Amino acid sequence: MENDLPEDLSERSFQFSCDTYDYCEELVRLRGLPCRLAYQLFGAAGSVGANRAEAKSSFTDREFAAKNSIVLREAREARFWLRLADVKSLGDRAIRKRLLQEAGELVSIYAKVVQKLKAKIRAEEQRAKNQPS
């Protein structure tokens, strides 16, 4: 994982997916439950990048908010699996800690993105209701 995080949120999400992939490759070699955890973790982390890419092709604010809500949910799940990996001391500690920090930051960022988008949609709906027909 690079120390200089990309400024673009889509690129940052993609980088998180890539970095998690590399970490999961290490966990898969451990076999058993760590291997299973790796698949769960990468499923969630990979979805962060993939769903963010998909969100960029949204046609409406509502669709954009819905897709970013999926990104948020997947980021939370990735953070959960990274927390479990941390408690069980799986894989490289420094990489695990950086990924856990990045997952936490992505959760915070996407929570704010979704919150703002939903507020924007509500405001637009309220304006539409108040306009004369």
For the chain, the structural domain boundaries read 9-130
pLDDT recorded at residue 128: 87
For residue 22, what are the contacts with CB-CB under 8 A and spacing of at least 6?
95
Q: What is the pTM of this model?
A: 0.89
Local structure of residue 90 (DSSP, 8 states): -
> Could you report the per-residue pLDDT of 22-64, keeping only the tens digit for each?
999 999 999 899 999 999 999 999 999 999 999 999 999 999 9
Fold of domain 9-130: de novo design (two linked rop proteins) (1.20.1440)
Local structure of residue 133 (DSSP, 8 states): -
Is 99 in contact with 20 (CB distance < 8 Å)? yes
Q: CA quadruple 64, 69, 70, 75: dihedral positive or negative?
A: positive
